[in-house]
Structures are given as C-alpha cells and as structure tokens.
Structure 1
Amino acid sequence: MQIVAATFAALAALVHVYIFYLESLAWEAPATRRTFGVTEAEARTTRSLAYNQGFYNLFLAVVTAAGIVSLGIDEAVGLALLVAGTGSMLAAALVLVTSDRSKARAALVQGLLPLVSLGAVVGAVL
C-alpha cells in the first residue's frame, strides 16, 4: 500500500507544482485567466495574492515529495510527511469547496489524489 500511497502522493504533488506555475508564474496569461475564470483586470489586481498562494501550493508539494523520499529512509518520518503534505492538500480542497460551491470541480482536481494517497496510507498502517 505504501507504493500506492507514494504514487498518488507524487501525482498530487505534480498537480500542486502545476498550480504553483499557474498562480505564481503565469497568472496573467490568457489561458490561466480562463482556467481560474478571472478577467484581465482581476488578474492584474490579484497578482500578488495569486503569487503568494502559488508558493503555498509549491510548499505542499515539497513536503509531500520529502515524505516520498523519506519513506525509503525512515518509514515513520516518511509517512508523517506524506500525511502532512497530502492532508493539507485535501484540507485546502475542502476549504475551497466550502467557501464557494462553484469551485467543486477545482476542489476535486486539488483533493482527489491526496484523498486516495491518504486512504492508502491508512491501509498501509492498518
């Protein structure tokens, strides 16, 4: 089950690195604006907020990647980091959907892979 957990955690981390790219590096690009449903003026106004939030997503990916790497060194540390990273990703997805129901699709994209990873972690521990 650890392989399943690590695989889905890695996929979740990649999604969050992509979100980092969109929010922090490409926020005002037309394709990014379409993805997030913001106008050019809104993107200009919220650029610094998106930049900050993008790094938050990157940090979640880094913690998750550290957990994956640590699994091979110290299983307990690896699992703890994996749960911290993917648990935070899932919590962020829940906050997103509870703050705005129209963001359910985005929350699903953000939260499904971490949820599967966490389920596999539980299966590995039990």
Structure 2
Amino acid sequence: MLIAGLVLTAVAALVHVYIFCLESFAWTDPRTRATFGTTAEEAEATRQLALNQGYYNLFLAIVTVVGIVLTAAGSTAAGTALVLAGAGSMVAASVVLVVSDPAKRGAALKQGLVPALGVLAVVVGLLT
C-alpha cells in the first residue's frame, strides 16, 4: 500500500508542477484564463499573485518528490514525513478552496483528490 501511496503522491506532485507552470508562466494566456475563469484584465491584475501562488505549488511538489525519493532510498521516517507534509498541504489547500468558494468544488476536487488518496494509502501502508 505504501508504494501505491507514493505513486499517487507522485501524480499529485506532477499535477502541482503543471499548475505551477500555468500560474507562473502562462497566467495571461487565453487557455489558462479559460481554465481559471478569468478575464484578460483580471489575469493581468493578479499576475504577481498567481506567480507567487504558482511557486507555492512548486514547493509542495518538491517536498513531496524529495519525500518519495527518501522513502524509496530506505529513509522511511524522513521520507514519509515529507510526503505527508507535501501531499497533506495539497489536500489542505483544496479544502480551503472549497470552503472559501463552494463554486470551486470542481477545482478543489481536481487539486485534492489524488493527494488525499495518496496520503490515505501512505498512512495505511505505514500501519500495516
């Protein structure tokens, strides 16, 4: 089960790297604006905020990937702590999104389902 959790959290990390790219480099692109439901004016006005948020997503992905690598290398305690911190933060951010704006539940689900399943699988794997 631990391996399944690591695979799921790796997928979550890849999704967050993709989100990083959208928010940090393509925020004003028409396709990105359509994805996030923003106008050209809104995207331009929030460009710096999106850049910062994008880097948060990247850092969560990095923490998760470093944890996966450490776990795979045999440092299970440190590795799984990082995996749970990174993926758990992804889940927490998705909860904040849906609580702050219930209309964004689809985005919250896309952002949080895979890391939540990964966290669950990692925890079950550690307990068995």
**Structure 2 residue 37 is matched with structure 1 residue 37:** yes
Counting aligned pairs with the same residue, the percent is 57
The root-mean-square deviation of aligned C-alpha atoms, in Å, is 0.6
Question: Aligned pair count?
Answer: 126
* Structure 2 counterpart of 1:66, one-letter code: V
Tell me the residue number matched to 1:98.
Answer: 99
Partner of 2:23, secondary structure, is helix
Deviation for aligned residue 1:122: 1.5
Deviation for aligned residue 1:39: 0.1
| CA offsets 1:53-92 (integer angstroms, 9 cap, x no match) | 0000000000000010000230111110000000000000
Deviation for aligned residue 1:125: 1.6
Tell me the residue number matched to 1:72.
Answer: 72
| Stretches of structure 2 lacking an aligned partner (at least 5 in a row) | none
Listed as ranges, the matches of 1:1-126 within 5 Å are: 1-73=1-73, 74-126=75-127
* Structure 1 counterpart of 2:99, one-letter code: T
Distance 2:112 2:39 in 1: 25
TM-score (norm 1): 0.98
Structure 1 segments (4+ residues) deviating >6 Å:
none
Deviation for aligned residue 1:32: 0.2
| CA offsets 1:8-43 (integer angstroms, 9 cap, x no match) | 000000000000000000000000000000000000
| Stretches of structure 1 lacking an aligned partner (at least 5 in a row) | none
Distance 2:39 2:57 in 1: 22
